[in-house]
Amino acid sequence: MLLPSALTPALSLQVACEYGMVHVVSESGGPKGKDYCILYNPQWAHLPHDLGKASLLQLRDWTASMLCSLPDVPARGFSNQIPLVARGNCTFYEKVRLAQGGGARGLLIVSKEALVPPGGNKTQYDEIGIPVALLSHKDMLDIFKSFGRAVRAALYAPNEPMLDYNMVIIFVMAVGTVALGGYWAGSRDVKKRYMKHKRDDGPEKQDDEAVDVTPVMICVFVVMCCSMLVLLYYFYDQLVYVIIGIFCLSSSTGLYSCLSPLVQRLPFGRCRVPDNSLPYFHKRPPVSLLLLALLCLAVSVLWGAFRNEDQWAWVLQDALGVAFCLHMLKTIRLPTFKACTLLLLVLFVYDVFFVFITPFLTKSGNSIMVEVATGPSDSATHEKLPMVLKVPRLNASPLALCDRPFSLLGFGDILVPGLLVAYCHRFDIQVQSSRVYFVACTVEGPTFISLGAVFRHRPTAREGL
């Protein structure tokens, strides 16, 4: 996703934050040490990247105090300790200033709410020389339950791997879907032209007509996207099951659309349904296609029933998602380059607003797009929207405790460039240009993304719709 230069100064004012780890061991030599996720601001103080270089200090439970005034500091201070204090009642700066004045070597602020980066201003950053981080209340309870009250802790921030191999899998799936969908869309036009000159084959061999997108349809579509995104942001727990149901139906339709041309080529199962007056069945469809429809519906129902099984359900979700995207790319047609330009322009504005502007408008400081795509942290259902390709992280890293276990790519990042690629292929066929525009448009996108990933300092997955 590209960020306009006009937004760069505004975004630079946001608080820098990174994930880190707190390694906890028992002073009595009990169970093996364990890592817990923390969120820290490197502008206060940097953490060592290697656990072996981090100081193992006494972790002191001071959560009964907010540490907002001098009387909250114990008489003997926090000499060579890392105090745990409760979040609230004063700024992060006031807490860490008192902790540093009491001799603390670090500060962990326990939060029952979603973790946010501990921020301050440049003058405050220059004044403080100890790290300050946020730890979830749930992790604090687990620490004392597992290790007792006498514990030591070390704060460190391991380096993230430059590339997780799951990104390669997502890249191949996305680019493959765009290329195959664009090629299929153009091939349908070739077949359609051929069938116009072969009237005697009959209407039953005709494919479903493509839907031409008009400027009015584009504007209505974007308004609907904005409305649905806002509704999901405020009524996520109520609407998420509606979206899951729609995905099951649409993805099974897409899977059927992708597999039916292959099934029709099989040398068996060509017998047809007997004469009847039932809806749809009166056309006497082949038995093989009926069995295929039942199979596709069964696959989507299977995913719906076991969608939260992280070990294998993502495979079904990706297969259904790719089939859905292929079906949309071959069915929806942008008739003119003007329509392509309008669609890309309004979706670009839509993307920038909901990802980069909405953090300044929401109370939590999170973007509406990311909040909806990844699921609100305070969701009662803990359900996730299925309109994404998801692949589990394959690199072993302690930071996997902090970050989400899956890398995500929204269907929008496949469908939008895919529609442009499909248009280019149709144009190639119309002007008989040996698919030069189709190849150029297909290769240009992945090349740009690859170059961007090489020059980015810390590449991460795109997590949006």
Q: Could you give the CA distance from residue 223 to residue 240 in angstroms, rounded to a whole number? A: 19
DSSP code of residue 355: I
**Cα dist from 90 to 97, 103, 364, whole Å:** 12, 20, 18
Nearest to 416, CA basis, from 316, 302, 334: 334
Dihedral pair phi/psi, residue 390, rounded to 5°: -135, 135
Q: 464, 211, 243, 208: which is closest to 351 by C-alpha?
A: 464
The DSSP code sequence of 22-91 is EEEEETT--SPPEEEEEEE-TTT----SSGGGS--EEEEE-TT----SGGGS-TTTTTTEEEEEE--SS-
End-to-end C-alpha distance for the chain, whole angstroms: 12
- Using left for φ > 0, alpha for ψ between -120 and 50, and beta otherwise, residue 154 falls in beta
| Residue 78 near residue 104 (C-beta atoms within 8 A) | yes
Kindly give the pairing relationship between strand 388-392 and strand 81-86. Answer: unpaired
Residue 187: Cβ-neighbour burial (10 angstroms; 0-12, 13-18, 19+):
middle
Identified catalytic residue from 35, 72, 164, 413: 413
Let me know the angle formed at the C-alpha of 122 by 120 and 124, rounded to the nearest 5 degrees.
60
Q: Between β-strands 151-156 and 132-136, what pairing exists: parallel, antiparallel or unpaired?
A: unpaired
Rounded Cα distance between 10 and 5, Å, is 10
Active site residue 413: yes
The Cα 310–Cα 319 span in angstroms is 15
Strand partners, 408: 390
* Token reading at 406: 């899956």
Catalytic site includes residue 351: yes
- Determine the Cα–Cα distance for residues 442 and 439; give it in Å rounded to an integer: 5
Q: Alpha carbon of 33 to those of 106, 133, 340: distances in Å?
A: 19, 19, 56
Residue matched to tokens 């991460």: 460
Beta bridge mates, 292:
none
Catalytic residue from among 201, 351, 378, 403: 351
Cβ atoms within 10 Å of 427's Cβ, excluding its own: 19
Return the active site residues: 351, 413
